[in-house]
Amino acid sequence: MDELEKVEQMRGRPSDAWPTTTALPEALNRLAELLTELGWDDLASLARREELMVYRELDAGRPGVFAGKIAHALAALRSNLVDIKRYEEALEVVDEQLRLSDTDRSAQVEAPKAREWRTVLLARLGRREEAVESAAAAVDEIRGRLKRRGGASVDLELSHALAAYADRLDAVGRVAEAAEVTAEVVAYWRERSDSTAKFLTTVDLLSERLVRSGRTEEAGVCITEAMQKVRRRKPHLELAGTWHGFSVRLLSLGLPKKALDAGKEAVNLYREIAHWAQENHRKVEAEDDWDHDPRYAEWYLRQRRQEELESSHERVRRAERNLHDGLLTLSACLRRLGRIDEAAAADAEAAAVSTHTARPSGQVPPDPA
């Protein structure tokens, strides 16, 4: 391993004997990257720690000159420690990043991400109240920067921080406060026509928190206003589940007409998804060159082919299950509105979809031997 040899050659030598002032820590950084690629994460963390130690020694001789390098090395070490689930150690690294950013301008670039990770790590360690405080501090810091800069009152960075803060409030049972914070996130996404998916999924979350806070009327209003807002926008297939969730929630809130509108949108999207999955599965089944790759043994090609068929068919089953559920919700909305014949038609389509979903998937032809 060339990088390890370079590291060993420079270890123990004074820095003025290295090819460049930062040759050793840079070699340690490359070694850590290589060890990570090889899956030797514990060894990579040792290389990262040594890289950090060397930069600290260099900075002791020339205070402040290597602060940016130290900040970058700390971020890399934190990432490595998170990957191997050593969260206590990762939290110590994050706290050092933040202390460094208080005194060094070059280290401030890493500070926003460090604050975000501090909240995440506290939550993963089960220190939920501290995670709430950390998330609140991150929001306050961003608000302060925005105020000093004189820009928008809520930007993308702040919206992410607010969403994290709301999640942490919810996790400790402060649902009403979580709803208030989520409403601010919704307001940010509402005005961005290219962010329909983010807007609606955040509205879905807000409505759920409002319901749990006992503010059911507000939950219904926020959903119906959102539906009106995006009515003329291009439909997004990935939002089928969100529309279905809207339909279920609106129906439970006693708003069957609005629930029907959401249910129709969900079923239309689910139908399109199911059609796409079925067409794709037919193409997979029709492939006839799956066993023509000379690089692999026949048994492996057959195994890979079977896995491909099963994966494709599972996508069909999942799409059809979703369509089935969407149709049943649609039927419930229609029945609540007294439209019995249409409800029966939706039930019949759901039954037909369910029957189709139960059919077995394609199989790889048996080995002639």
Q: Are residues 92 and 170 in the same domain?
A: no
Does residue 107 lie within any of the structural domains?
A: yes
Residue spans of alpha helices (H) in the chain: 2-10, 23-37, 41-61, 67-83, 87-103, 111-124, 128-149, 156-171, 175-190, 196-212, 216-230, 240-252, 256-286, 298-336, 340-357
Q: Are residues 12 and 60 in the same domain?
A: yes
Does residue 257 lie within any of the structural domains?
A: no
Does residue 366 lie within any of the structural domains?
A: yes
Q: Are residues 31 and 116 in the same domain?
A: yes
Q: Are residues 103 and 132 in the same domain?
A: no
pLDDT band for position 8 (cuts 50, 70, 90): confident
- 186-237 residue pLDDT tens: 999 998 878 899 999 999 999 999 999 999 999 999 999 999 998 877 878 8
CA dist 259 → 230, 248, 331 (Å)? 16, 7, 11
* Cα(262)–Cα(256) distance, integer angstroms: 10
Q: What is the pLDDT of residue 366?
A: 54
Pair 35, 41: CB distance under 8 Å: yes
Q: Are residues 277 and 348 in the same domain?
A: yes
Q: Are residues 27 and 113 in the same domain?
A: yes
Q: Are residues 13 and 103 in the same domain?
A: yes
Domain containing residue 281? 272-287+297-369
Does residue 215 lie within any of the structural domains?
A: yes
* Cα(277)–Cα(1) distance, integer angstroms: 47
Q: What is the pLDDT of residue 154?
A: 66
Query: Is the overall model pTM greater than 0.85, yes or no?
Result: no
* Cα(240)–Cα(249) distance, integer angstroms: 14
Does residue 246 lie within any of the structural domains?
A: no
Name the domain boundary from 122, 144, 174: 122
Q: What is the pLDDT of residue 110?
A: 83
Q: Are residues 131 and 198 in the same domain?
A: yes
Q: Are residues 93 and 156 in the same domain?
A: no
- Tell me how many domains the chain contains: 3
pLDDT band for position 166 (cuts 50, 70, 90): very high
- 337-349 residue pLDDT tens: 999 999 999 999 9
- 112-163 residue pLDDT tens: 899 999 999 999 999 999 999 999 999 999 999 888 887 666 688 999 999 9
Does residue 242 lie within any of the structural domains?
A: no
Q: What is the mean pLDDT of the chain?
A: 89
- The CATH number given to whatever domain includes residue 43 is 1.25.40.10
Q: Are residues 113 and 4 in the same domain?
A: yes
Q: What is the pLDDT of residue 153?
A: 61
- The CATH number given to whatever domain includes residue 188 is 1.25.40
Does residue 139 lie within any of the structural domains?
A: yes
Does residue 167 lie within any of the structural domains?
A: yes
Q: Are residues 86 and 134 in the same domain?
A: no
Lookup: tokens for 249: 């929630």
Count the Cβ atoms, other than its own, within 10 Å of residue 167.
Answer: 18
- 98-111 residue pLDDT tens: 998 888 777 788 88
- 246-273 residue pLDDT tens: 999 999 999 999 999 999 999 999 999 9
Q: Are residues 164 and 218 in the same domain?
A: yes
- Span 44-54, mean pLDDT? 92
